[in-house]
Structures are given as C-alpha cells and as structure tokens.
Amino acid sequence: MKILVTGAVGFIGSHTAERLQKMGHEVVGVDNFNDYYSLELKQLNEKALNEKGITVLKLDLREITDINKLPKDINYIFHYAAQPGISSTSTFEDYFTNNVIATKNLIDYALQLDDLKLLVNIGTSSIYGLEATFPEDVAPKPASHYGVTKLTAEQLVLQKSREQQFKSCSLRLYSVIGPRERPEKMYTKLIACGLNGEAFPLYEGSDKHLRSFTYVGDIVDGVVSVIGNEDKVNGEIINLGTEVEHTTQDGIDAVEKVLGKPIKINVIAKRAGDQLRTKANIDKARKLLNYNPKTTLLESVEKQVEWYKANF
C-alpha cells in the first residue's frame, strides 16, 4: 500500500512513518518544517527517514498550490500535521490555520483519490478538557485553543464518514513520550536540564498533575493496527494510551533515577488550559484493535535518555 503521513518529521509522525515502511508499505511523508521548535531536530528526523528510503515532501497543507503537489495514488492517510500543544507563543491564527484550514484542505485532496481506504486523523486527549479520563462518547470540553481546533479538525474528518464519502477515524492520543519528543516537552526538557545542570521550569502545582505517560512505540502499535480494520474503525473515535497513571513528580523521579543525579527545579506561574488529569480509557481500543500498551514509565525514560545522549 502507498501511505501518506503528514507531519512526518515530527515526534510521533516520524516513528509512524518508519513503522509503516518496516511493515512493507511505500511511505511518503509531508511536512512544512515550521519553526515552532528546533529545525535541527526536524532535520535529524528527516535524515533518519531518508536513510530508510522514506521521501519527505516540504509542503504546507494550508496552501492549495502545495496540496496539488501531493501524489494521487495514496491508499491511506495518517494525519499528524498540526500546531501542537499549549503555548503562549502560538496565536489563535496559528492553531486555526494549521489545525482546521490545513485539515479541510487535506480532506478536499482525499476526496480526489481513487483508492483511499482510510483517512486516520490524529487527535488528542486535550479534546476532553481539563480532565481526560473518559470513554469516547463523553461530550468534549476543550479548555484551550489547541483542544478546540483539534476537535474541529476531528469532526471535519469524521463528517466524511457520516456522508459516506470515504472511511475515516480519529485516534485521541495520551501524553506520548520517548525518543524524538519535542524540546519544549517535559521529558526532553528534564533530561536536558539534568545533563546540563540547569533548572527545570515546573508550573506551580503541576507536580501533582496525573498523566497517562505512554511510550511512543506503544502509541504507534495502536495507530498502525487500523490497517486491515477499516470497517471496524470507520466513523469511530478511539483513545490510545496507557491506563497507568503517574504524577509529574513521578516523571521527575524517573529521569533522576536514570541520570543518577538530582535535577534543579524552578517553580513558575501556572499555565492556563493545562490538564489536571489524563488517564486513557482504552476499552474501545482493546475491543476493536486488540490494543495493549506494555512499556513502563522507567523503560520509556531509559530509551529517551539513550536517544538524547546519542544525538545531543
């Protein structure tokens, strides 16, 4: 099969592209290489993909002229491209154009494909709101521009299933960690601070926040398992993550244990829209996809530290 992965040089997108190629599929990546975070990391990921024979097109899904350059013989689309996370440096326009307009343009492109078997939207637990512990049929209450625009993108994709124009699904991911995690995210920043003797900026009270920290390999297991299950997942929203909860403090402790030394902490003001608790309810994923994440927090941190030391 020929598969398009958007956001292919990003954290989870790059891992997914590699896995699909390893499974024997022809993978084409697309990414706009924006400067939201270090281009050095994106180029490092691109190099890893190129070495495995995966082509990455530098295109912006917000631009119709770029959309028209995408291949027309695609069988599956895995849509990761987005303005990620909760950031004071990202404007509402950033979230809206990257998460809504780009998704609408991708949908219009998908409608032109002759043999599209499934469009997989990559959603987020942020869609649920400040508490994300629910099954997929609970009404979402996003508490950030990120969550609101990702919900909109999700519904635009699922609308096409309801209209029976093509098959689609949306996978809501929970607190993904591991090698290639973005530099502003918790574990990469913790590791960098620990190795460089710098203070980690901890949002006030967030040490008690609960998260389903899920290893990226376990997430990719669930993502690629939709292939061959198109009828089962068509029109569905499915949570992917671990059912095991850890506090932010547990995460700090794990990094300190792997590094073998304490990390300085600098407590800063709370961040608006930050989730208080995420715990993946994966009953549906178990039923439809036989999903079963197994990697522990400590194992995940060990792999991420190994990657960081090897590359930085």
Instruction: Yes or no: say if 215 and 300 are a contact pair by the CB < 8 Å rule.
Output: yes
Taking the CB of residue 247, how many other CB atoms lie within 10 A of it? 16
Instruction: Yes or no: say if 154 and 170 are a contact pair by the CB < 8 Å rule.
Output: yes
The domains spanning 2-174+215-240 and 177-211+244-280+294-311 adopt the same CATH topology: no
Instruction: Yes or no: say if 76 and 138 are a contact pair by the CB < 8 Å rule.
Output: no
Report how far residue 278's alpha carbon sits from residue 254's, in angstroms, rounded to the nearest whole number.
19
Q: Alpha helices, DSSP H only, in 131-278?
A: 145-162, 186-196, 216-224, 230-233, 248-259
Pairing of strands 246-247, 210-211: antiparallel
Each of the 312 residues of the chain gets a pLDDT tens digit; together they read 999 999 999 999 999 999 999 999 999 999 999 988 889 999 999 999 999 999 999 999 999 999 999 999 999 999 999 998 877 788 999 999 999 999 999 999 999 999 999 999 999 999 999 999 999 999 999 999 999 999 999 999 999 999 999 999 999 999 999 999 999 999 999 999 999 999 999 999 888 999 999 999 999 999 999 999 999 999 999 999 999 999 999 999 999 999 999 999 999 988 777 788 999 999 999 999 999 999 999 999 999 999 999 998
Please tell me the predicted confidence (pLDDT) of residue 285: 98
| Domain boundary assignment for the chain | 2-174+215-240, 177-211+244-280+294-311
Beta bridge partners of 74: none
Which fold does the domain 177-211+244-280+294-311 belong to in CATH? UDP-galactose 4-epimerase; domain 1 (3.90.25)
Length of the chain (residues): 312
Q: Which of 241, 83, 95 is nearest to 177 (CA)?
A: 241
User: pTM, whole model, 2 decimals?
Assistant: 0.96
Pairing of strands 26-31, 2-6: parallel
Given CATH 3.40.50.720, say whether it is the number of domain 2-174+215-240.
yes
Please tell me the predicted confidence (pLDDT) of residue 272: 77
What is the distance, to the nearest Å, from the Cα of residue 165 to the centroid of all Cα atoms in its chain?
26
- Helix axis angle for 102-110 and 145-162, nearest 10°, is 20
Please tell me the predicted confidence (pLDDT) of residue 198: 97
Taking the CB of residue 120, how many other CB atoms lie within 10 A of it? 26
Please tell me the predicted confidence (pLDDT) of residue 164: 98
